[in-house]
Chain A
Amino acid sequence: MMPDTILEAIDVTKHFGKDAGWPSRAPVVQAVDGVSLQVRRGETLAIVGESGCGKSTLARLLMRLLTPTSGEVLFDGRQISKSRGDELRALRRDMQFIFQDPFSSLNPRMTVARLVGEPLEIHAPDLSASDRRAKVAELLQQVGLRREHADRYPHEFSGGQRQRIGIARALASGPRLIIGDEPVSALDVSVQAQVINLLGDLSRDLGLTLVIIAHDLGVIRHMSDRVAVMYLGRIVEIGKTEDVFSDPKHPYTQALLAAIPSMNGPTADHAATVHGEMPSPSDPPPGCRFHTRCPHAQDLCKIQTPHLSAAQETSHQVACHFADALQRRIPPSNATQKSKTAEARFALYRAATEGGTIAHNTQQDQP
């Protein structure tokens, strides 16, 4: 383990349907299969992949909301799969979860003050009632809500505000690490940007470590320092976000990036896109799990599982037999090609929304 590692998974596997009491007929679902990764203190690590590839399962394993079928998870160098009692309580304080769906994750009968105050009752039982109220007000302010919101119920808030309540609740115990499972996916772009900025500010100001699960590659590119790409229960590529986005090495990562709709019109990088769908995790293909869709697959890929290249932990790692031989594919930039006037207009907009002083000329175009 590197000295700055806060959370580590070592060869973690979760197979659902295996631990049933009697031989069950349902096939075993290999949701997560032999995943190892390190999360560094203070970084934002993103986990990306298609629906059903095991992102949520991995997040729950990291949080110890699920027990791995095999493998270990270490928090601060301590094995957490066997934590009980006080140790487990401390773990729950240090690691918090933000859910995708702010609507269903908040108890509708509790006021915001109680929702945010509840973790305080558990993790800081010595706080007096008035100290707790003050702390709740401080938390609400930290996530951009107002003190008077404390007495309202979740249904009185918009989606973005509810996600802020979820974040305030996660912050209440003073965690060192927060795992967000699609924390902004349900939000509209304009509100999503507010929450992304908030999470960025919090991680910087509080030195928080974030693990963010998302399927929106734009969100990931913006938020994360490093990114892990998952396919069918395994990590196929991991590295610094800028490296993975500018020089994707795994054919699946290349396909994902080629499939992002570009703001510059049809990209049609058909050579890199893949066809069909991800196979079922209850019957994964042998060898490289991507071989059924990979345009570069060879016979070896059907037999032998490629492992993440055992380079320096800090470097860009990829699990593909032929990664070095593959043609480099530079993904197109997604930034729009704006004219000078448009650039200036965007700058004007940014300045205005960031508190600039606005002056209107007297005459405006009236149709």
Chain B
Amino acid sequence: MTLTDLALRFRGQPADVVDRVSLAVKSGEVLCVVGESGCGKSVTAMALMGLLPQQNTVISSGHLTVGHTDLDLTRESLPPSARGNRVAMIFQEPMTSLNPAFRIGNQICETIIRHTGTNSANARAHAKEMLQRVGIANPSQRLREYPHQLSGGMRQRVMIAMALANNPQVLIADEPTTALDVTIQAQILDLIRDLRDETGMSTIMITHDLGVVAEIADRVAVMYAGQVVEQGAVRDVFDNPQHPYTIGLMSAMPGLGLEGKRLAIIPGTVPTISNMPKGCRFRTRCAFATSTCQERPKLRKIAPHHDTACHFAPLEAHIEVSQ
């Protein structure tokens, strides 16, 4: 799946919430999109799925390729027949995407029948198998239960089972483990890894946890305020981060063995869409910003598998700091 140059704004807003974002994921690969709350991760995912409300969304540029299908996102979107079938999504809030009024089994079977046209006995058998695969004990009984009877970790696994029931080529997972305890998170990351190895599924995983990225991603795209500021192979980016925002995020992460030391911070907060600075959107919080930064820095190659969008990368070649 390849997304090129997505620019999107909500009607009535002065700036794009997603500003010329390009993402690509190969088959069998896990791409993580990481960034803080409100940077546009979910909106990007919803745009990929064609699930944004059309009447208040303006897409001024964007091209999507899925397998052999080419879509000009400014006038078309992923056909509903491909959703949940070739491209499946796990939503950020499992409760909003499970219907509280229907039993788990009916909901999973419905998606299977809708996409494969199989009969309900087959669908039920397949649903049971899927629950087993995501590590749910007692699947026959669980199929008869309602969403509220399940714990958060269990609901999230049901969502994953549902998303994977039709063997999608691409899985888009929006913060699938954020609300879960670390021991459950570890189990789910294992599961996603296993499925990728078995089926060659491509995964775009959205998260704000750099640890999760390091654990599961092949490649990572770091987003800030609607823009991709750095991307590349995950080891290149984490061992040698180039963008001041990525460096700041990593410095601000507690628990990296710097006990006792004050955490380095990123000053200030993310600008709102109505105060979005022109040029580099990070410049209101960047210690290295100059007037040059009023011009938008392009994503450029810094190493074979590593791009960044900062005028002054690599910092040590352009900047000196004295006490």
Question: CB within 8 Å of B: which residues of A?
Answer: 50-51, 158, 160-161, 188-194, 196-197, 200, 215-223, 241-242, 255-256, 258-267, 273-278, 333-339, 341-342, 344-346, 348-354, 356-361, 364-367
Residue of A nearest to B210 (CB): A263
Measured between alpha carbons, how far is A352 from B239 in the docked complex, in Å?
Answer: 20
Closest 4 CB pairs of A and B: A218-B255, A261-B211, A222-B254, A193-B252
Taking the closest CB of chain A, its distance from the CB of B179, in whole angstroms, is 9
Measured between alpha carbons, how far is A364 from B322 in the docked complex, in Å?
Answer: 19
Measured between alpha carbons, how far is A205 from B250 in the docked complex, in Å?
Answer: 27
Q: Does B262 contact A (CB under 8 A)?
A: yes
The interface-forming segment of B69-77, B118-126, B309-317 is: B309-317
Taking the closest CB of chain B, its distance from the CB of A260, in whole angstroms, is 6
A346 and B316 form a contact (CB under 8 A): no
Q: With A191-B269, A261-B214, A349-B287 as given contacts, are A336 and B256 in contact (CB-CB < 8 Å)?
A: yes
Residue among B154, B240, B248, B255 having the largest count of chain A Cβ atoms under 10 Å:
B255
A241 and B249 form a contact (CB under 8 A): no
Interface residues as binary, B284-304 with A (CB distance below 8 Å gives 1, 0 otherwise): 000110101000011010000
B287 and A358 form a contact (CB under 8 A): yes
Measured between alpha carbons, how far is A338 from B151 in the docked complex, in Å?
Answer: 39
B154 and A192 form a contact (CB under 8 A): no
Q: Which chain A residues lie closer than 8 Å to B182 at the CB level?
A: 50, 215, 217, 256, 259-261
B267 and A222 form a contact (CB under 8 A): no
B265 and A190 form a contact (CB under 8 A): yes
A219 and B184 form a contact (CB under 8 A): no
B254 and A341 form a contact (CB under 8 A): no
Q: Which chain A residues lie closer than 8 Å to B251 at the CB level?
A: 193, 346, 349-350
Q: Does B209 contact A (CB under 8 A)?
A: yes
Q: Does B93 contact A (CB under 8 A)?
A: no
B214 and A349 form a contact (CB under 8 A): no
Residue of B nearest to A242 (CB): B259
Residue of B nearest to A354 (CB): B264
10 A–B contact pairs at CB < 8 A?
A188-B36, A191-B269, A197-B263, A221-B259, A261-B211, A275-B187, A277-B153, A346-B247, A350-B264, A352-B321
